[in-house]
Amino acid sequence: MKSLRTASVGIVGVPMDLGAGRRGVDMGPYAIRYAGLARDLLEMGLEVTDYHNLTVPGPESGDVGWPRARYEQLIEEACLALRNCVADIGRKGNFPLVLGGDHSIAMGTVAGLLDARGDVGVLWVDAHGDINTPETTPSGNVHGMPVATMLGLSGLGARLGWTSRGLDPHRVVLFGTRTLDAGERRAIRELGVRMFTMSEIDQRGVKACLDEAISLLVGRGGIHISFDIDAVDPLEAPGVGTPWPGGLTYREAHLAMEVLAATGEVSSMEVVEVNPIADHENRTGKLAAELILSALGRTIAG
């Protein structure tokens, strides 16, 4: 088992649900911390600095704005603060660990990683493709647009730099996908983004698919895991923003994180869309914390 690139983890929470169509994921950072995350990281021998939560306004305090990208201005402001925090953690040589919040926060996380490292491979573990644009979205919810934004497709995120520096489509891999809108299918096909659907994972197995994904993502800036907890089947993770049946099992999700940890190439992580309102006794918050520990190298052997 290889170790992390660093023994120091910097945690930041982003209590935001502006990008979602359902309230509650703003409480996700509290639920994951409550599950004992920092304590368990310390028990693994890691140094932990918790930068607490960013201040994010609720939807009551702002204008919806453009209905094709609801609350986009407020989301961008929160992502700017997150970009600066992640860049600071990364420049110190530490491991940025971001707790969401809805998945639109990834626009700020990855912008900060690029500021600090210049390059990063993004493993997008999610039931959804999140590659809609304001033109293709059926909902106007920005948490369905971060991949498109980071690829320079959406026209959003100008202050984050995404209209001038998009990620290379070959540095993004979608993993665990099981529902797409028509515009997303078209964008994935035209850009050549590698996608491992649940159907392919069922046929080939988690490890074979993940080994291929890792081979595509390894690079100078390491691998960033952007994990939407709805990638896991709702039977295992009931407390999520947008549940969809047929996802990864408990063991498949842990195996994926264990395989990634073994590479020694994981350089940052975010876990998003934990919704305590829809959860049962913080079951999903605990699972999120456990998956983080697996990704950072915890095994049954210690």
Q: Which of the residues are catalytic?
A: 103, 126, 128, 130, 143, 228, 230, 273
The β-bridge partners of 272 are: 228
* Side-chain half-sphere exposure of 285, counting CA atoms within 13 A: 23
DSSP-derived 3-state class of residue 60? helix
Task: Kindly report the backbone phi and psi dihedral angles of residue 188, in degrees, each rounded to the nearest multiple of 5, phi listed first.
Answer: -60, -45
Identify which of 6, 28, 160, 176 has the alpha carbon closest to the alpha carbon of residue 91: 6
Distance, in Å, from the CA atom of 75 to the CA atom of 162, rounded to the nearest integer, reads 14
Distance, in Å, from the CA atom of 273 to the CA atom of 212, rounded to the nearest integer, reads 26
CB burial class (10 A; 0-12, 13-18, 19+) of residue 195? buried
